[in-house]
Each structure stands twice: as C-alpha cells, then as structure tokens.
C-alpha cells in the first residue's frame, strides 16, 4: 500500500479496489459491505424508517477524545436516536485530498470500525472520492444512517408541551471547547476532551420505559443548546425556561469559555441529548438517564412554559433573566 | 440573502436557518424534509431495504447536459436501481466553500429539485457544512438513498451465469468525454453532452417483466464498462466476452476519444446500465429496453462464458481479441 493517497485511489479502477480491499475491508467487516455491490441490501424490517445524513469537516481531524471518524459514526447514530429509532446501518462517504497520509486514514478507519462495533451499527455501503491536492483539506466524511422506529414511538419537536421538564444528559460544551482550544493550540489545563459518543442506548431506554412521556429529544451539536432550544421554541411557539446554575459543566470547560470569551450555550456537544418530557415522572426519567454511563451527569435544567411565546429565557446564576437567541454572527467553523 | 456563501451559513445558527429556509426549502418541498428534524421519518414499507451512498466532486460543476446537482440525484438513484430496488428517498449533504456564489448554489438546488421531481424520489433529509475559502473546491455533494426491494427480486453480480447475454442500455462514454473536454476547454464539435439520467424506471420494468431472468445490473460509472465487467468477472470467475462493433457510441464521442487518446471502455457513464440476463428471452429484453426513452439505443454487446476464467475479452473491430483489464494508472480525477 502507498504511503500517501493518490488521485488514482479515486479512479474507480484497480487502485480504488486495492484501497478498499487492503484498508477499508480489513477493518469494516460487515458481510453486506464486503459484497461491494452498487447498493447494500438488508432484510425487511417492521416499523417506520428513520433516515439522516451529516457531513463532517472538523478541524483538526484528530483531537482529544476522538477523531473525525468516530465523530461521523456517533453523530449520525445520534440523529437517528433523537427520533427514538433503532439505528440499523450506516453509509460511509469519504472525500480525500491527494497526498493525505494513508497511516492517518487507517487510524480513522480503525476508529470508525471501533465506534460501529461499540454501537452495534455496521457500515454497509460506502464511496471514496479523491480530489487534487489543495482542493479539499485532508478528509471530509459523510455518514448517512437508517433506523427503524417501532410502533407507537413518536418523538418530535412538535410534541413539546407547556409544563414539560427539560433534561440534559450531561456536561455542556465539551466538544466545542475541545476543538477550539486544540485548533488554536491553547493549553487550558484540566482534562478537556470531546464528548463524542452514541446516544441510542440511552434514547431507546427512555422511549421504551416512558412511552408517551418523552416528547422531544435533540442532540445540541452545531449551534449548541441555545440554538437547539430556540428552534424548538420557534417550532412550537412555546417558551423554554432554563436555569444557568442547573446546567452541568466541567470546571475546565467553564474556565476555557471564560478565557476565550465564549458562551457555552452556543458550543457544540457530540454526546449529549436534551429531553423534553412530561413532568409526572421527571425524577424517574432523570434516574434512568443517570443510571447509564453516557447520562450519569444528567440534570433537569428547566421547564417549558407559555410565558414568552417562541422564546428561550435563561435565569442567570445571579438571579437575573436574559433572552437566548439562536447563534448568529459568530461563526465557529469546522466544529464537526 | 447574501450573494456569497459565508462561514456563518454552516454554523448551525441563524444564518444556516436562513439559507435552509430561503433557498433549500424554496425548491425542495417534501413535507418530511420541511419538518427539519434530526432525522426524517418515513412510513413502514414491505420488502428488503436497499441503501447506497455516493459523493460528487465533479469538475466543472456545470457541464453540457447537466450539473453536479442532478448528477448527485441520478447517480444514487441508479445505484439503488441496479439492485432492482424502488428508490423511496434521498439525503442531501452539501460541503460548500466560503465565497461560493449563492446564485450558482441556487441553480444547483433547482436542478436537484427538478431531478427529484422527474424521478419521483424526494430529498427528505439534509445537512450543509461550510469550510473556509481554499479548503474545498466550490461544492461537494453527498447523496445517500434508500430503496425497497419487493419479494423475489434478487439482482447481483453473484447471479451471473455462463451463457448470459450482456446488454448495454445505450451509447458509451458520453459523460466521461463531456467532462474531460469541457474541463480542458476542448472544442470537438458535435453535440457532446453528459448522459446523466435516472435508470430506475428502465430497471424496474426489466425486473418486473422478466423475473428471475435479469441476473445482474450495473451502471458503469467511474472506471467505465471495462472496470465494471472486470469486477463481475473477478467476483464470479466467469469470462465476459464483448464485441467492440456491437457497443453503441456516438460519432462525436468516438472522435473525441481518438483525439485525446482515451479508451472509451474506461470512461464514465452516468445514465447507462449493463444487464446480464438469461439468453432465452434476450431479444424481448432488448425490445423492452429499446422501448424506453433512456434505453432506446440499447444493444446486446456480448455474452458470458467460461472461456477465460475471471477475464474480460474484447473482440476488436478488426476481428482480433484483447484482454480488458480494470482501469489502472491513468487517473481521470473528478469525473463524477
């Protein structure tokens, strides 16, 4: 195998077949993928289909806590999970820059395979393109995913109701601040790392144990919790009231945000979900979330009301209130 | 709306929402897409699932006969069609370069919408990322697609048999030669244009009208007919015998290939399918193909045998024979 990616690896011919055979199929072992047909064929399933896509252009491609590969696997699994779906398979579309180190590609593919194994969701179909040096930046990854939604599960922003509690499955802004500090080469102390992880185990426990009570789930990625809540507020016309002091945050993330002058409400999370649920069993829902490894720092962070229609209102640590608008005008590019 | 794409359009915040609302949803009107949830949810379907992905990095993005947008729609539909699937939905993942002209993006989205309408396959979920100027080249598109395979349909390379006829649904190399000449600014006369088009109508007629007789279908895209036949030969251990004089080609494509010293067997097609079928009803299958607009120039171009195991053998116009190897060492980058 060559040390660097050549244009020929994207030709569809012999070099492409070698790359697929000697690298991709070495780690990605799903039997459907190994057939290398134009499309994967999977058994019939009972239930509605969930379908989602995301492209990943994160910079740097390796960062504390993960790399672009596992981010791509977990991110798309999470989009399916947020609808209450059982993810069944992923596609993997790679765009590589000529000259990209094959050793780095191999490390990314290994991470993809490990993330798929952990999640129990295989890559069943893929595609690789190569563009000339300078026409892309190392590697961009698209993953799309298919999931199955079993009868009765209906989790959507449109089901949010006044009176719902707002839960968050853990600490805020870990991914966003990790990427920003590691891109800028900032040393901020502590153990900053991305929270990239799959949320479908947690999400499916919730929809199974509390059918009908889990109204809305969202993973606040790009744009952060502030933007995600704003979208739900806008969609539903309801008011999202959150309490700053109730939002879990790691001290090093808080310190880095203060240092860099960034609002953690707008920073990306890659392994956290926000849940809007009926209030009756809020404590039990919280316990269920806290009993999972990915949700052990879960907290109730607020409540849905009709107070300010279509708005997000934050009660600050000092007891004041402020409106939280969707992210605007402060681009944080290539965060995922 | 701004005239050029800004980093902020990929932030996930307000600018992203404006781009989605004022441009994407203006043309892409599927009600599931319009919900803008993390994942699309589609009704339950009966049958096996087909799933495929492709990224498109074609250069130039606008070319005679089409643009990157419709190419992305048709290409993924065709990958599903080649397994006999009924395509039901697509995802659309965009990677945009900062500074890309919004007017060009709009033209591409319009083409995507038109191609989806023509094919009857909607975009139901999407994602847009923006990278800084110089970190990508204008626009890269990933489409993934889901299809349904109804009971009994099983079209795969592994079903190819000795004695099968090899059919091609029309003229060879139109797309590849169009991209290469238009990228290089070559004037070769005639009416060269890409053959980008969906093949699922044609493919589904075949699998319905000739159940069990259509063994293998493939669309010879990157790597061309030569590489596609080589892959099937390698997978099955059979010999693919084709006749040069039976392969349909437009005179201007033949002339351009001669001028540029390119072998049309290795040039990409984006609207042609190759069919391996039982010989008994070969003429009827050919008639069915010829009766469709996308297959009107179909021809029987060869036969599967056991003569040279795992090989592709071409009988040339002059009556000699030569082995056709998979494409190697002649990279034709960014052809799709």
- What would the pLDDT profile of A153-167 be if each residue is shown by its tens digit? 999 999 999 999 999
Contact B131 A57 (CB under 8 A): yes
Q: Which residue ranges make up each domain of chain A?
A: 7-149, 157-323
Q: Which residues of B touch A17 (CB under 8 A)?
A: 231, 326
Instruction: Report whether the peptide linkage leading into residue A60 is cis, meaning its omega lies within 30 degrees of zero.
Output: yes
pLDDT above 90: percentage of residues in chain A: 92
Order across the sheet with B48-56: list the strands. Answer: A40-42, B48-56, B139-149, B86-97, B123-131
- pLDDT at B189 (0 to 100): 76
Q: For the structural domain made of A157-323, what CATH number should be given?
A: 3.90.650.10
Min CA distance, A277 vs chain B (Å)?
17
- pLDDT at A331 (0 to 100): 67
In this structure, the strands spanning B312-315 and B239-243 are parallel
Could you tell me the pLDDT band of residue A80, with boundaries at 50, 70 and 90? very high
Min CA distance, A18 vs chain B (Å)?
11
Q: Which residues of A touch B46 (CB under 8 A)?
A: 44
Cβ partners under 8 Å of residue A47, min gap 6: A148, A149, A150, A151, B44
Min CA distance, B293 vs chain A (Å)?
23
Question: Which of B218, B263, B331, B335 has the highest number of chain A CBs within 10 A, making it the mutation to test binding with A?
Answer: B331
Higher pLDDT, B190 or A102: A102
Query: Of the candidates B38, B54, B55, which has its C-beta nearest A83's C-beta?
Result: B38
Query: Residue A101 carries which DSSP code?
Result: B
Query: Of the candidates B93, B327, B328, which has its C-beta nearest A54's C-beta?
Result: B93
pLDDT in tens, B10-44: 988 899 999 999 999 999 999 999 999 999 999 99
Mean pLDDT along residues B259-275: 95
Mean pLDDT along residues A273-290: 98
**Assigned fold of B7-149:** 60s Ribosomal Protein L30; Chain: A; (3.30.1330)
d(CA B226, CA B160) in angstroms, rounded, equals: 16
pLDDT in tens, B269-297: 999 999 999 999 999 999 999 999 999 99
- pLDDT at A132 (0 to 100): 97
Contact B93 A91 (CB under 8 A): no
Contact A48 B43 (CB under 8 A): yes
Contact B51 A17 (CB under 8 A): no
Query: Of the candidates B16, B47, B333, which has its C-beta nearest A131's C-beta?
Result: B333
Query: Of the candidates B80, B131, B330, which has its C-beta nearest A39's C-beta?
Result: B80
Q: With an 8 Å Cβ cutoff, is A68 touching chain B?
A: no
Could you tell me the pLDDT band of residue A82, with boundaries at 50, 70 and 90? very high
Of A79, A82, A61, the C-alpha closest to A70 is A61
Contact B137 A137 (CB under 8 A): no
CA A246 remoteness from chain centre? 22
- pLDDT at B23 (0 to 100): 96
- pLDDT at A141 (0 to 100): 98
pLDDT score of A181 more than 90:
yes
Tokens of A1: 């195998």
pLDDT score of B45 more than 70:
yes
pLDDT above 90: percentage of residues in chain B: 92
Contact A79 B38 (CB under 8 A): yes
d(CA B133, CA B100) in angstroms, rounded, equals: 9
HEC secondary structure over B130-167: EECCCCECCEEEEEEEEEEECCCCCCCHHHCCCCCEEE
pLDDT score of B329 more than 80:
no
Contact A33, B53 (CB under 8 A): no
Of B179, B170, B173, the C-alpha closest to B224 is B173
Of B111, B123, B170, B287, the C-alpha closest to A144 is B123
d(CA A177, CA A207) in angstroms, rounded, equals: 30
Contact B40 A57 (CB under 8 A): no
Order across the sheet with B214-218: list the strands. Answer: B214-218, B274-277, B165-168, B299-305, B239-243, B312-315, B321-323
pLDDT above 70: percentage of residues in chain A: 99
Could you tell me the pLDDT band of residue B87, with boundaries at 50, 70 and 90? very high
pLDDT in tens, B198-241: 999 999 999 999 999 999 999 999 999 999 999 999 999 999 99
The ipTM, to two decimals, is 0.97
Q: CA dihedral defined by A228, A230, A235, A241, rounded to 10 degrees?
A: 110
Could you tell me the pLDDT band of residue B68, with boundaries at 50, 70 and 90? very high
Q: Which residues of A touch B324 (CB under 8 A)?
A: none
First to last CA, chain B: 29
pLDDT score of A13 more than 80:
yes
**Angle, CA of A118, B50 and A217, to the nearest 5°:** 50
Contact A53 B91 (CB under 8 A): yes
Q: With an 8 Å Cβ cutoff, is B326 touching chain A?
A: yes
- pLDDT at B152 (0 to 100): 83
Could you tell me the pLDDT band of residue A330, with boundaries at 50, 70 and 90? low
Q: With an 8 Å Cβ cutoff, is B40 touching chain A?
A: yes
Q: With an 8 Å Cβ cutoff, is A75 touching chain B?
A: no
**Angle, CA of B5, B12 and A70, to the nearest 5°:** 110
- pLDDT at B270 (0 to 100): 98
pLDDT score of A8 more than 70:
yes
Could you tell me the pLDDT band of residue A185, with boundaries at 50, 70 and 90? confident
A-chain residue closest to B153, CA distance: A41
Measured in degrees and rounded to the nearest 5, phi and psi for residue B77 equal -55, -40
Q: With an 8 Å Cβ cutoff, is B55 touching chain A?
A: yes
């Amino acid at each position: 195998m060559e040390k660097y990616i050549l244009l020929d690896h994207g030709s569809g011919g012999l070099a492409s077949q070698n790359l697929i055979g000697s690298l991709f199929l070495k780690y990605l072992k799903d039997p459907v993928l190994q057939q290398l047909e134009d499309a994967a064929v999977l058994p019939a399933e009972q239930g509605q289909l969930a379908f989602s896509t995301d492209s990943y252009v994160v910079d740097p491609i390796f960062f504390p806590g993960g790399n672009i590969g596992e981010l791509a696997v977990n991110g798309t699994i999470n989009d399916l999970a947020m609808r209450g779906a059982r993810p069944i398979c992923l596609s993997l579309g790679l765009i590589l820059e000529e000259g990209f180190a094959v050793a780095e590609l191999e490390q990314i593919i290994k991470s993809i395979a490990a993330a798929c194994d952990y999640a129990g969701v295989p890559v069943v179909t893929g595609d690789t393109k190569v563009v000339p040096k300078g026409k892309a930046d190392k590697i961009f990854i698209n993953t799309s995913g298919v999931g199955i939604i079993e009868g009765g599960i209906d989790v959507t922003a449109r089901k949010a109701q006044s009176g719902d509690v707002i839960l968050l499955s853990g600490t805020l802004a870990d991914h966003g601040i990790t990427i920003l500090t590691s891109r800028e080469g900032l040393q901020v102390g502590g153990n900053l790392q991305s929270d990239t992880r799959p949320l479908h185990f947690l999400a499916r426990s919730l929809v199974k144990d509390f059918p009908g009570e889990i109204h809305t789930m969202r993973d606040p990625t790009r744009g952060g919790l502030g933007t995600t809540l704003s979208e739900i507020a806008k969609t539903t016309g309801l008011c999202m009231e959150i309490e700053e002091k109730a939002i879990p945050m790691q001290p090093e993330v808080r310190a880095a945000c203060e240092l860099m002058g960034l609002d953690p409400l707008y920073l990306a999370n890659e392994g956290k979900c926000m849940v809007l649920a009926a209030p009756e069993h809020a404590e039990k829902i919280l316990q269920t979330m806290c009993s999972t490894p990915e949700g052990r720092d879960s907290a109730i962070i607020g409540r849905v009301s009709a107070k300010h229609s279509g708005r997000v209102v934050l009660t600050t640590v000092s007891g004041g209130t402020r409106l939280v608008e969707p992210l605007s005008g402060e681009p944080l590019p290539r965060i995922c």
